[in-house]
């Protein structure tokens, strides 16, 4: 459920008409709903009620400071994967003890910044990285809390580009080698082993792959304890999918996911961490664009909109589906038209949808791409020298620009000219 609904014939974000925001900030823009962000965070938090837990929002999904502050105020932790994300989390007021550091290639600088600023744990992805964390910790006179990310060799049954739990993927250490790696970790004085980490992929639409992976984690917990390690925390990653197509059956709910976690891992008595990103932010955001032209093709009509692949890359990159809806509610019973909905960028890949049913549209109409809150703005670029589009946050009947559109001048002035020119 989200808070982008039609009311009196027009699309609203909570209590604000989308057309009002468009008039104020221009198109295209991203618009997020505070109520939806909060609701989704609480769904996870409540799903794990009864067990010691922390929901660490995977901020790679949407990392605007206002979004982080909204979630942090509810007690969210953060899952970060770079020095930049760590700095963003700290800047949003998230205490170090609520920040976990994931990612396959943490640099010494990033490790040092996190150890100095405070960190809940590093999720270690390889032995060389483990040694680097140990070395930096010893240099700083600190002890780094770690889990080791294990790769359980489980098929997440999702798009190949976002599956991470098969042995051919670059992530984690093979679970078959885990005991050796933990023995190695225990011998390093700059590290304190506290648990196990696993993350098998994103946009999972079934619980089964999670359950397979978590069963392996349960088994490993027991083996490692028998080997003498103190395993007190299990980080179970993110990955629960969202309904991108309203017409399709929906993925499992957080409450079902939470119940499965408690059933499979409850007996281990560990503190549970999860790292959801998409489910918190995805349906809490839309991208609003304006139709520039309706163009007659040989055998089809193109709707050319002012948003493009540089603003929302998911359709071009993952063949992802986003529901696309008009901002003026279609008249009930009216036969929709079919359009190829495309952006102005000079690539055929700049196509959001082909043959999509949409109310008959004309230049100047506003249309919204739903489920664009996660992996939308964060993956945008200025390709074709199109400035990054603004982000707006709605809260009840108020809205605020939380990242403004840079001017052409600002965009150009980031370049510098060498003295010989
Ligand atoms: N934890 C780790 C270690 C991850 O790598 C990810 C996502 C998450 C948590 C959050 O997963 P989520 O709950 O959002 O599924 N750009 C792609 C998605 C890439 C996901 C990468 N890792 C997309 O637009 O579909």
Query: Ligand 1 atom 16: the closest Cα is on which residue?
Result: 375
Average pLDDT over residues 164-188: 93
Flag whether pLDDT at 169 surpasses 90.
Answer: no
Residue 39 lies in a domain: no
Residue 48 lies in a domain: no
If asked whether residues 257 and 197 sit together in one domain, one would say yes
- Annotated binding residue 347: yes
Residue 59 lies in a domain: no
pLDDT for residue 162: 84
Task: Out of 274, 290, 316, pick the residue that ends a domain.
Answer: 274
24-61 confidence digits (pLDDT tens): 999 999 999 999 999 999 999 999 999 999 999 999 99
- Dist. CA 323–CA 43, nearest whole Å: 23
Distance 58 CA to ligand 1 centre (A): 7
Ligand 1 pocket: which of 59, 129, 159, 278 to mutate (most atoms within 8 A of CB): 278
If asked whether residues 253 and 295 sit together in one domain, one would say no
128-139 confidence digits (pLDDT tens): 999 999 999 999
If asked whether residues 348 and 391 sit together in one domain, one would say yes
Q: Is the CB of 318 under 6 A from ligand 1?
A: yes
If asked whether residues 287 and 236 sit together in one domain, one would say no
Q: Is the CB of 237 under 6 A from ligand 1?
A: yes
The domain that contains 346 carries what CATH number?
2.40.37.10
Task: Out of 222, 250, 274, pick the residue that ends a domain.
Answer: 274
- Annotated binding residue 98: no
If asked whether residues 293 and 270 sit together in one domain, one would say no
63-108 confidence digits (pLDDT tens): 999 999 999 999 999 999 999 999 999 999 999 999 999 999 999 9
Tokens of 182: 């933990």
Count: domains in the chain: 2
396-407 confidence digits (pLDDT tens): 999 999 999 999
Distance 407 CA to ligand 1 centre (A): 31
If asked whether residues 121 and 217 sit together in one domain, one would say yes
If asked whether residues 405 and 383 sit together in one domain, one would say yes
Distance 413 CA to ligand 1 centre (A): 33
pLDDT band at 6 (very low <50, low <70, confident <90, very high): very high
If asked whether residues 115 and 242 sit together in one domain, one would say yes
Tokens of 129: 């990285």
pLDDT for residue 12: 98
Q: Is the CB of 283 under 6 A from ligand 1?
A: no
Q: Is the CB of 395 under 6 A from ligand 1?
A: no
Flag whether pLDDT at 125 surpasses 90.
Answer: yes
If asked whether residues 164 and 300 sit together in one domain, one would say no
**Which is nearest to 378 in space by CA: 32, 36, 59, 38?**
59
Residue 52 lies in a domain: no
Task: Out of 228, 258, 274, pick the residue that ends a domain.
Answer: 274
Q: Is the CB of 151 under 6 A from ligand 1?
A: no
Q: Is 31 a catalytic residue?
A: no
Residue 394 lies in a domain: yes
Tokens of 248: 């399709």
- Dist. CA 383–CA 388, nearest whole Å: 9
If asked whether residues 408 and 299 sit together in one domain, one would say yes
DSSP helix/strand/coil, 266: helix
Radius of gyration of the chain (CA): 23
DSSP helix/strand/coil, 379: helix
DSSP helix/strand/coil, 267: helix
Residue positions counted in the chain: 421
Residue 156 lies in a domain: yes
- Complex ipTM value: 0.99
The region, left, alpha or beta by phi > 0 then psi within -120 to 50, assigned to residue 80 is beta
If asked whether residues 330 and 205 sit together in one domain, one would say no
pLDDT for residue 151: 95
294-303 confidence digits (pLDDT tens): 999 999 999 9
Q: Which domain holds residue 317?
A: 4-31+282-413
The domain that contains 209 carries what CATH number?
3.20.20.10
pLDDT for residue 248: 75
Atom of ligand 1 nearest to the CA of 379: 16
Residue 229 lies in a domain: yes
CA dihedral 119, 184, 102, 269 (to 10 degrees): -70
pLDDT band at 166 (very low <50, low <70, confident <90, very high): confident
pLDDT for residue 95: 98
pLDDT-above-70 percentage for the chain: 100
The pTM for the full model equals 0.97
Residue 62 lies in a domain: no
CA dihedral 118, 239, 311, 321 (to 10 degrees): -170
Percent helix / strand / coil, the chain, rounded to 5: 35, 25, 40
DSSP readout, 132-182?
A: HHHHHHHHHT--EEEEEEEE------S-GGGB--STTSSSSEEGGGHHHHH
If asked whether residues 10 and 141 sit together in one domain, one would say no
Q: Is the CB of 162 under 6 A from ligand 1?
A: yes
DSSP readout, 309-364?
A: TTT--HHHHH-----EEESBPPPTTPPPEEEEEE-SSSSTT-EEEEEEEE----TT
- Dist. CA 8–CA 11, nearest whole Å: 8
Distances (CA, A) of 233 to 162, 198, 202: 25, 12, 22
């Amino acid at each position: 459920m989200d808070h982008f609904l039609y009311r009196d014939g027009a699309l609203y974000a909570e209590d604000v008409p989308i057309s009002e925001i468009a008039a104020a900030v221009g198109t295209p823009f991203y618009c997020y709903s505070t109520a939806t962000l909060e609701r989704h965070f609480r769904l996870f938090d409540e799903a794990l009620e009864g067990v010691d837990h922390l929901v660490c929002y995977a901020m790679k999904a949407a990392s605007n400071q206002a979004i982080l502050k909204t979630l942090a105020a509810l007690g969210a932790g953060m899952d970060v994967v770079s020095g930049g994300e760590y700095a963003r989390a700290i800047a949003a007021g998230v205490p170090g003890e609520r920040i976990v550091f994931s990612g396959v290639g943490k640099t010494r600088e990033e490790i040092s910044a996190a150890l100095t600023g405070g960190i809940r744990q590093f999720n270690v992805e390889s032995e060389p990285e483990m040694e680097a964390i140990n070395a930096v910790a010893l240099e700083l006179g600190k002890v780094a809390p770690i889990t080791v990310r294990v790769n359980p060799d489980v098929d997440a049954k999702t798009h190949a580009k976002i599956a991470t739990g098969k042995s051919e993927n670059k992530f984690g250490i093979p679970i078959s080698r885990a005991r050796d790696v933990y023995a190695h970790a225990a011998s390093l004085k700059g590290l304190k082993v506290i648990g196990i980490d696993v993350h098998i992929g994103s946009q999972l639409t079934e619980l089964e792959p999670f359950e397979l992976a978590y069963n392996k984690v349960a088994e490993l917990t027991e083996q490692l304890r028998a080997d003498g390690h103190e395993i007190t925390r299990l980080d179970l990653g993110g990955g629960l999918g969202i309904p991108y197509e309203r017409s399709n059956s929906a993925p499992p709910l957080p409450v079902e996911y939470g119940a499965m976690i408690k059933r499979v891992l409850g007996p281990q008595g560990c503190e549970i961490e999860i790292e959801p990103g998409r489910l918190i932010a995805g349906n809490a955001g839309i991208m609003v664009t304006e139709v520039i032209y309706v163009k007659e093709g040989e055998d089809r009509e193109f709707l050319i909109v002012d948003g493009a692949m540089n603003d929302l890359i998911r359709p071009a990159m993952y063949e992802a589906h986003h529901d696309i809806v008009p901002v003026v509610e279609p008249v009930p019973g009216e036969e929709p038209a079919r359009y190829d909905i495309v952006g102005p960028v000079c690539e055929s890949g700049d196509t959001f949808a082909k043959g999509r049913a949409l109310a008959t549209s004309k230049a100047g109409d506003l249309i919204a791409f739903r489920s664009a809150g996660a992996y939308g703005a964060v993956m945008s670029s200025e390709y074709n020298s199109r400035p990054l589009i603004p982000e707006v946050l709605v809260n009840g009947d108020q809205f605020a620009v939380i990242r403004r559109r840079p001017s052409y001048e600002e965009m150009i002035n980031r370049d510098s000219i060498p003295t010989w020119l």
